[in-house]
Amino acid sequence: DAGVTQSPTHLIKTRGQQVTLRCSPKSGHDTVSWYQQALGQGPQFIFQYYEEEERQRGNFPDRFSGHQFPNYSSELNVNALLLGDSALYLCASSLMRQGYQETQYFGPGTRLLVL
Amino acid sequence: DAKTTQPNSMESNEEEPVHLPCNHSTISGTDYIHWYRQLPSQGPEYVIHGLTSNVNNRMASLAIAEDRKSSTLILHRATLRDAAVYYCILRDWSGYSTLTFGKGTMLLVSP
């Protein structure tokens, strides 16, 4: 089992550009969540996808958008990049089962630097 | 999600037990207590979770206060590989809730 994989591992962009990050969930998982982790801070929830729809969203602007594909993989898109978007972007996968405290499995993250 | 309070950092010696505290005085009756940890240059990983009773697994033990307003993650014999940031997180009963991370406790382990 490959676990959660993310690509690319590192990325450098300039202000105003757009970026797409990718995530493949752990085998058997159907839910993908994205988190942003600034240096020295805990991860902050961006949004969660299940059945190809955004189910929950954190306090992030519309510049952050996503997509989930039929094979459960997911993309995170950020438009009009700002310097403050520089962070580690983490993808977590899980299985959606009501009433269960399902574990979220995290990937290694994509380190984004905006210049 | 209710908030948790953890010390910024703690130190331990290798092969000694470590007790990582977490306060969650506003916890609701149906909130579960989860612990995740983040090793350097890695994503967070699940450690343990519980509701009311103490819990044990191969990684750690979780001791929950009788009033549930605090809990303690116990590493029975710390190793250098346990050096990480440990996050105490509350999740509602549905399991649908996402993880709300604080700053966590950075555990330093000395040989």
* pLDDT one-digit tens code per residue, B47-93: 999 999 999 999 999 999 999 999 999 999 999 999 999 999 999 87
Dist CA B48 CA A40 (whole Å):
23
Q: How many CB atoms neighbour CB A108 within 10 A?
A: 16
> What DSSP state is assigned to residue B8?
S
Judged by a CB distance cut-off of 8 A, whether residue B96 touches chain A is yes
| Alpha carbon separation from A28 to A93, A96, B42, B85 (Å, rounded) | 10, 11, 22, 28
| pLDDT score recorded for residue A2 | 77
How close B48 gets to chain A, by Cα (Å)? Answer: 9
Q: Does B57 contact chain A (CB < 8 Å)?
A: no
- Going by C-alpha positions, the residue among B80, B87, B88 that lies closest to residue B12 is B80
pLDDT of residue B1: 55
B55 inside 8 A of chain A by CB? no
Strand, helix or coil at B104? Answer: coil
Q: Mean pLDDT score of chain B, rounded to an integer?
A: 93
Q: How far is CA A32 from CA A85, A111, B64, B68, in A?
A: 20, 18, 30, 30
CB-CB under 8 Å, B46 with A101:
no
